[in-house]
């Protein structure tokens, strides 16, 4: 009898937990850039604490089949250990995600970001770097490899900045590599603003916010810069 009661109680507790955590983020209620930023921070906290939403993907597919309202855009590295939807605990229809080694911008990415805001209405653009980034290490070591050579050259200014800030030290080693990665994020944010007047104007009007962030692959935590 006691065993049955425990089983029932456990089932009710599991149901309560499911209902409490919910199935999705309601992106339609996220109206401002700051609200979008707070939603991503809350999602990463759920991810780190091991209490993610009980994402109902079938429901989300049905909900978004006629259109989409993603509230944030993420420019992240290609690294397989950095999946934005998972580490921010988001579902189908919540995020636009652009991925390229070293999380750098180009004309195609810029056009995508402008589309994301002007056509679909996202409120936040996050440039997401990460620790132990292979592209950053390659740029530090001045690797040459066909088309990759040009990509890594885009990261070299961040390497030079880290070297200037740490004279006599090898920025390709230890924590300094992550310093280069963070510098690269900030430079990408700067370049986006420099190359897109649309984004600059949207920020000026308070309709969009562009921020940088770093993901720690050893802890799962995102730190906004």
Q: Which DSSP state fits 155?
A: T
Give residue-wise pLDDT tens across range 135-161: 999 999 999 999 999 999 999 999 999
**Extended strands (E) in 1-94:** 72-76
The confidence score (pLDDT) of residue 14 equals 46
The confidence score (pLDDT) of residue 5 equals 55
Q: How far apart are CA 73 and CA 127, in angstroms?
A: 9
Is 50 exceeded by the pLDDT of residue 12? no
Q: Of 27, 91, 12, nearest to 54 (Cα)? A: 91
Whole-model pTM: value is 0.89
- Residue ranges per domain, the chain? 2-224
- Asked whether the beta carbons of 126 and 211 are under 8 A apart, the reply is yes
CA distances from 121 to 11, 72, 203 (A): 41, 9, 13
The confidence score (pLDDT) of residue 120 equals 87
Structurally, what CATH architecture does the domain formed by 2-224 represent? 3-Layer(aba) Sandwich (3.40)
Q: Of 186, 174, 217, 214, nearest to 80 (Cα)? A: 217
- Local structure of 66: helix, strand or coil: coil
């Amino acid at each position: 009898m006691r065993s049955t009661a425990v089983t029932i109680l456990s089932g009710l507790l599991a149901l309560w937990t499911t209902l409490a955590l919910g199935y999705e983020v309601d992106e339609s209620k996220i109206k401002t850039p700051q609200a979008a930023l707070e939603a991503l921070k809350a999602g990463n906290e759920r991810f780190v604490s091991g209490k993610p939403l009980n994402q109902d993907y079938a429901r989300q597919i049905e909900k978004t089949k006629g259109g989409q309202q993603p509230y944030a855009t993420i420019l992240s590295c290609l690294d397989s250990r950095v999946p934005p939807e998972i580490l921010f605990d988001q579902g189908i229809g919540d995020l636009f995600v652009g991925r390229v080694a070293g999380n750098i911008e180009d004309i195609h990415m810029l056009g995508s970001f402008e589309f994301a805001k002007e056509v679909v209405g996202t409120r936040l653009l996050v440039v997401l770097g990460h620790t132990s980034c292979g592209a950053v290490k390659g740029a530090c070591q001045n690797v040459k490899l066909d088309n990759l050579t040009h990509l890594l050259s885009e990261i070299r200014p961040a390497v030079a900045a880290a070297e200037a800030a740490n004279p006599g030290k090898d920025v390709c080693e230890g924590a300094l590599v992550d310093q280069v990665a963070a510098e690269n994020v900030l430079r990408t944010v700067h370049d986006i603003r420099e190359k897109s007047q649309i984004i600059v104007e949207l920020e000026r009007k308070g309709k969009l916010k562009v921020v940088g962030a770093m993901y720690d692959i050893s802890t799962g935590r995102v730190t906004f810069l």
